[in-house]
């Protein structure tokens, strides 16, 4: 995983500070899961010689506009926004589970989403909820480099929430994200 010099990636752990994100079945806050995974991805990418810019690397408040501005100033090859999912009233039994990845339609972001998603599912064995397009997510719309948003699992699902709080499982997610980014950089940016 070397020879990746002159590559820069932005990692955006969702939520933080006063915004906890989703609250898990066991009371864990999404922001903690997202930050842990992003920090692991950073370590893996840096070990491969890739420069990493974090929109935030501590639990603090940061608006979506500030996140996008950091991303756009970074001159990065791509940005990956890391989240954990939650189901609403359409899933009263809280059975929804699995990994989803979002991007804008077409172009390099779709390729990035496909590759990162495939590696995450392969690394974890989690249910594959697919790659979806979404024009509503701010970080997909307002950032210059190809952007994807990953949903690493459902905090509202008791079993999946338990997995997301296990360091070994979170490391598998980080490994999948990092391997996907590296594979994409090799394919698209070589």
> Residue 75 and residue 85: Cα distance in Å, rounded?
29
Number of other CB atoms surrounding residue 137 within 10 Å: 17
What token pair was written down for 61?
């408040």
Smallest Cα–Cα separation from 99: which of 180, 32, 17? 180
**pLDDT tens across 67-114, in order?**
999 999 999 999 999 999 999 877 888 899 999 999 999 889 999 999
Tracing tokens 């590696």 back to the chain, one arrives at 119
- Judged against a pLDDT cut of 50, whether residue 1 lies above it is answered with no
8-188: CATH homologous superfamily? Zn-dependent exopeptidases (3.40.630.40)
Decide the pairing of beta strands 147-154 and 78-85.
Answer: parallel
Question: How far is residue 74's CA from residue 130's CA, in Å, rounded to a whole number?
Answer: 29
Reading the block at residue 155, the tokens are 């905090």
Domain boundaries, the chain: 8-188
Encoded tokens for 128 = 């594959």
pTM here is 0.95
């Amino acid at each position: 995983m070397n020879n990746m010099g002159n590559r820069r990636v932005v990692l955006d752990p969702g939520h933080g500070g006063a915004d906890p994100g989703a609250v898990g079945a066991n009371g864990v806050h999404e922001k903690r899961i997202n930050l842990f995974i992003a920090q692991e991805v950073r370590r893996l990418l840096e070990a491969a010689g890739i420069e990493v810019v974090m929109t935030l690397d501590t639990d603090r408040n940061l608006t979506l506009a500030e996140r996008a501005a950091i991303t756009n100033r970074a001159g990065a090859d791509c940005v990956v926004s890391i989240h954990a999912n939650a189901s609403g009233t359409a899933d009263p039994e809280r059975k929804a589970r699995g990994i989803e990845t979002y991007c804008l339609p077409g172009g390099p972001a779709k390729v990035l989403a496909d590759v990162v998603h495939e590696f995450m599912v392969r690394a974890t064995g989690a249910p594959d909820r697919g790659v979806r397009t979404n024009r509503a997510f701010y970080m997909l719309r307002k950032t210059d480099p190809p952007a994807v948003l990953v949903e690493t699992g459902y905090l509202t699902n008791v079993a999946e929430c338990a997995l997301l709080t296990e360091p070994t499982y979170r490391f598998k997610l980080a490994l999948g994200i990092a391997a996907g980014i590296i594979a994409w950089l090799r394919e698209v940016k070589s």
